[in-house]
Structure 1
């Protein structure tokens, strides 16, 4: 009997040890672990946290695709709100794996972090009410028109520098600018075309984009400076997304309702 008891005890110990060993071997390319991704929570069509807690938008769909290629299914993603002024700090502190949040690639930012991409090229544009006929581009704002942008933003500064005849109103958020446009407090809103397209798509028939683009912004995915291995993996994922049709599908779903045709995906910057 003692011999049998030892066998039974050994089997029990082995049975308990196996799942523990399997758990310890997990991880690696995402098996069982989560990944923290930064994006905007307040930009419809790009990065938006919905009332039910789900995330939607073009940036969100790009980030989901990249995460999938890295080995993380959608339910393994933890989303981290990444306001513009906090993005570099979140990356440098290791609070996020990467950020996709209308993140323009600039030389000054590349001193602090690395970028994959770009996955989209856009530019500054104008949003007006659907029935507006006298604003056709940035030059037509000179006639004392009231224009709204966000305090301290590049679009606001560009208008100040180039068009002193514009009455520039600066608010804290673009959603506040859009509300002012809706109620007639301002004549137009300016920022990157895709951001404006997201707001237009959110309220079909209320607004329209005019004047094309008058700057160039290259959106990239921000990650820790010098992490060339992750940078290459993300670049490979972006290329795959563009070639298999998922990139255009994401654009059509999120920004197509604004009447903005899908642009040609940009060439990846390998530097």
Structure 2
């Protein structure tokens, strides 16, 4: 009898273990069908001070990080249930389409080309394209001054192409894997200007190691409405994120996040934009 009981107990333990494995949701990418997962994977930038930055000690800081954390909490996830995944500009659509992330909060400007591949919630922030130059450079005061100059931006970004196509067709356009590479080239005088959203540029210029080295030209070359990217057709998630963004603005959290992340750079932000996606 003792042998039988021991065998039965072992069989029961195996059965329970198999059941637990089958029900585990942390690896189930389809959270909408199998119940809420144990964690949520969110794409952010790792190299954008003020927006999305992974610090040497493994922490994440920036406005997009604060927004992502707030939205995740509204979706039912605590901070320790969030896994942040690097989302470089050129890979954002692939990460969403492949199901590698649930959504992306990474200075992700809403435009028609991207909306053909993914859906957006938001927008949650309005930035303007500007130029960053060396602090002692007085020769670039408008976009047209970039003709015959070396202009840098990142692969997958629309900013530099916007300048070359519309404003300075003779600009020598160089695309790098990240903004840090552009910044190094600018400091070393191998490049003449870096272009992207003023929020991103202000984040870099306000870093302690960069203070006094660079300056914003102060242009508004385009309107960049930042949205939260998600898989095309996921209307339920889009609706929930939009609701979270509205609450973030109404309860004062949005303003708090802006001041905490952009205040040190004396950045003049636009008011929170009206949500247009999914409506």
Compute the TM-score of the two structures, normalised by the length of structure 2.
0.80
Q: 1:268 aligns with which of 267, 272, 275?
A: 275
Tell me the equivalent position of 1:3: none
CA RMSD of aligned residues (A): 2.8
Correspondence for 1:156? 160
Aligned-partner SS, 1:103: coil
- Tell me the equivalent position of 1:68: 73
- Report the CA distance between 1:257 and its aligned residue: 2.0
Task: State the structure with more CA Rg.
Answer: 1
TM-aligned CA deviation for residue 219 of structure 1: 1.0
Using the alignment, how far apart are the partners of 2:236 and 2:157 within structure 1? 32
Measured in 2, the distance between the counterparts of 1:102 and 1:26 equals 29
Tell me the secondary structure at the aligned position of residue 123 of structure 1.
Answer: strand
2:92 aligns to what?
Answer: 87
Instruction: Give the distance between the partners of 1:221 and 1:33, measured in 2 at CA.
Output: 21
* 1:179 alignment counterpart: 184
Aligned match for 1:130, one of 117, 131, 135? 135
Counterpart among 199, 209, 222 of residue 194 in structure 1: 199
Distance 1:149 1:224, change over 3 A: closer
Distance 1:159 1:246, change over 3 A: same
Q: Measure, in 2, the Cα distance between the counterparts of 1:227 and 1:165.
A: 39
Q: Distance in 1 between matches of 2:183 and 2:266?
A: 18
2:9 alignment partner in structure 1: none
Change (3 A) 1:25 1:125: closer
Instruction: Confirm or deny: 8 A CA contact 1:99 1:221 kept in the other structure.
Output: yes
Tell me if 1:119 matches 2:124: yes
If the length of structure 1 is used for normalisation, what is the TM-score?
0.82
Secondary structure of the residue that 1:212 maps to in structure 2?
coil
Aligned partners of 1:127 and 1:207 also within 8 Å:
yes
Q: 1:259 aligns with which of 228, 246, 266?
A: 266
Post-superposition shift, 1:26? 10
CA 1:95 to 1:153, structure 2 compared with 1: closer, same or farther past 3 Å? closer
Structure 1 equivalent of residue 230 of structure 2: 223
- Asked if structure 1 preserves the Cα contact closer than 8 Å seen for 2:42 and 2:104, the reply is yes
Q: Residue in 2 aligned with 1:9?
A: none
* Superposed displacement of residue 233, structure 1: 1.0
User: Would the aligned equivalents of 2:90 and 2:155 in 1 still touch at CA under 8 Å?
Assistant: no
Give the Å deviation of 1:182.
1.7
Of 205, 210, 215, 2:217 maps to: 210
> Could you tell me how far apart the structure 2 residues matched to 1:119 and 1:71 are?
20
1:170 is aligned, of 171, 174, 184, to: 174
The equivalent of 1:43 in structure 2 is 48
Unaligned runs of 5+ in 2: 1-11
User: Secondary structure of 1:222's match?
Assistant: strand
Q: Distance in 2 between matches of 1:50 and 1:174?
A: 16
Distance 1:145 1:26 in 2: 52
Q: CA deviation at 1:53?
A: 0.8
